[in-house]
A and B are shown apart, each in its own frame.
Chain A
């Protein structure tokens, strides 16, 4: 009996048996639930915890006004996109389609490249900073640290009225002297001015215009300016039949690059292979322009294949970043002057940064080259081509020639109006200026993002600063630039000479095979 009693005691629920039983029951319930797929009465699926901007939360297929974003290739030399910051607001597409008339003006399917004119206006409109310029500052820092490199820099006309905004100064503050000082503090071996080649461009371009008008060059009128690389690419894509109208002159940046490794190198006795040619530009398309295969005049000149005329292009924003990285107190810098040989400027060069500026400067010098007299007051204040109207026209009397008719546009949607008129044979103009960016280079795709999206108020302040500088300079005509005169005397002989053609002129090529053009926007 005693034995039986001890057996009963053993079967009592102990802590051990309870845990075993509970675990077994749990496992059984879990397995049953899992197998049946009904463990969760309200099954949750993964995802769906985030958000989308308002315009995408519409039922069905209602069209949204702004939908999606622009395509940017991973190897785009001008702009990059940080997908982590993109909020699909569609502002980039809005600019590309309505301001630059690129997106929506080509048929699909794409051929073999992403259509982009590299203007960077999308980066100016991007509220989250997801689109920005391709950062090349490290290349410059490395070269500056290399004792064997002669690092030479040129600065565009428009950077000097915008760089200050990165350091808290008011839009349009004139910081030319501080910019030079900052570049010296960064360690550049020579600080030179693109204004020098802006004047040179005018000498070449005005000469070409006169030759076209006189029929000495068998090229059609109107002559188109060629300083804005985004516009050039736009024309190559969408209006290839009008390429002969484009001036053969390179842009001031590329003229400068070609001369930096030829004229400057010879005069200073520097091996061109040791020169790193840097430019500071208000423009992202300049990064693309510097990479164009045609832009290696110095390589042809020295017969050294590996030379590029401009090695690195920095935007105004990148220069500001470099100054901040080196902790240079920009606003406290003294005003310094550019180095000699390729550092002189005139008022005509300064206004290159404004819409209508190239036109006005060219008109002044064309008047001089035709009449041999200094241009009258009208040419020094060609007000009809100033300001922010999309398309501007002007007519001015040049004794001995007649009326010079000119037109100016900025933003390629405005440019299309002129281009369509030229294509249809209803263009009365002799000379037309195209600028890719609204307002011209002052509001280029590489300028400080003082207002997002850029406003006319900021553009006007920067433009006013350029015209004020022009009015205050002792020399206002490009043909008065003494260093340009010295260049012709020492090397080029005269505008459009054989060597000038070799170094300063180029040809453009149709890109029509890269897309199927649409002459009206896709609805």
Chain B
């Protein structure tokens, strides 16, 4: 499954943010009620799996404002899951990359692995978790959209089969080439993601990481990690060999000493 975010349709109402909080039972922090302009944009947090960030930029020499929804991109080949030796992060057949806190050992390798910098760690908890958007797996199982997509009043989020979302994005770009930039973010980034974006402003102006490699991140790690069994076995064999060699040498040395001719001194 996948979602298509049309940035040109977002009005910044943050309904999706509230829906995410309500459905996932995320407790708001004490200071998360009223916000002032001075507070700036909110960031993703363990209890905020999606946020809307406001960007002021220019288009055709005019000041414009755009709103960008942030959440886990649910990569097709997730680096976080590949980095997680405890299998706490797993890619499900339906598309979501989900987190199981019962398996998590808190090593935070996933956070280092994520090319989009999405995952958040509960630094203030005695038994911390690493949290992120789960794409509302339970709702998907019931044939419903993720909470955020279901509440959007302007239709800025469309949800469905990923292939269809890519097709829908292409349709919009071709039917309105004057409006959109022509790029679909998420088709190739990090090997492809389940969340796709289209925009009328270049993505680099909207805070997107545009230097994400197109090759899936796990492929890079695999180039190194595939040697692990050989190194594991080879290193063991080498050390065993060296152990046996030194042991034998020590034995020979003892034997030689034992049977060495006694000095004439007779000592």
CB atoms of B102 and A48 under 8 A apart = no
Q: How far is the CA of A34 from the CA of B106 in the complex (A)?
A: 13
A-B pairs with beta carbons under 8 A, tally: 169
A64-72, A351-359, A367-375, A399-407 - the one binding chain B: A64-72
A109-117, A246-254, A412-420, A472-480 - the one binding chain B: A109-117
Residues of chain A within 8 A of B7, CB atoms compared: 109
Q: How far is the CA of A126 from the CA of B32 in the complex (A)?
A: 19
Q: How far is the CA of A35 from the CA of B158 in the complex (A)?
A: 37
CB atoms of A43 and B103 under 8 A apart = yes
Per the CB 8 Å criterion, the residue count for chain B at the interface is 65
CB atoms of B63 and A112 under 8 A apart = yes
Shortest CB distance B104–A (Å): 9
Interface size class of A (residues with CB under 8 A): 35 or more
Q: How far is the CA of A48 from the CA of B98 in the complex (A)?
A: 12
Q: Counting chain A CB atoms within 10 Å of each CB, which of B9, B15, B49 scores highest?
A: B15
| In the complex, B248 has a CB within 8 A of chain A | no
Q: Counting chain A CB atoms within 10 Å of each CB, which of B99, B137, B142, B150 scores highest?
A: B150
Shortest CB distance A281–B (Å): 21
| In the complex, A20 has a CB within 8 A of chain B | no
> Interface SS of chain A: helix, strand, loop or mixed?
loop
B21-29, B185-193, B213-221, B227-235 - the one binding chain A: B21-29
Residues of chain A within 8 A of B143, CB atoms compared: 59-60
Contact with A along B21-54 (1 / 0, CB 8 A): 1111110100011111101000000000100000
CB atoms of B147 and A52 under 8 A apart = yes
CB atoms of A109 and B8 under 8 A apart = yes
CB atoms of B33 and A83 under 8 A apart = yes
Q: How far is the CA of A90 from the CA of B19 in the complex (A)?
A: 12
Residues of chain B within 8 A of A58, CB atoms compared: 144, 150
Residues of chain A within 8 A of B137, CB atoms compared: 45, 48
CB atoms of A48 and B134 under 8 A apart = yes
Residues of chain B within 8 A of A85, CB atoms compared: 33
B83-91, B109-117, B236-244, B255-263 - the one binding chain A: B83-91
- Known interface pairs A47-B136, A84-B33; A114-B11 also in contact (CB < 8 Å): yes
- Known interface pairs A52-B147, A83-B14, A114-B11; A47-B100 also in contact (CB < 8 Å): no
Q: How far is the CA of A72 from the CA of B139 in the complex (A)?
A: 28
Known: A61-B145, A81-B34. 17 other contacts (CB 8 A): A37-B90, A46-B100, A47-B24, A50-B21, A50-B22, A51-B22, A69-B15, A74-B37, A74-B39, A82-B34, A83-B17, A84-B33, A85-B33, A93-B153, A109-B7, A110-B64, A111-B64
Residue pairs across A and B with Cβ atoms less than 8 A apart, 9 shown, are A34-B87, A39-B103, A46-B101, A46-B129, A59-B142, A83-B14, A88-B22, A111-B62, A114-B11
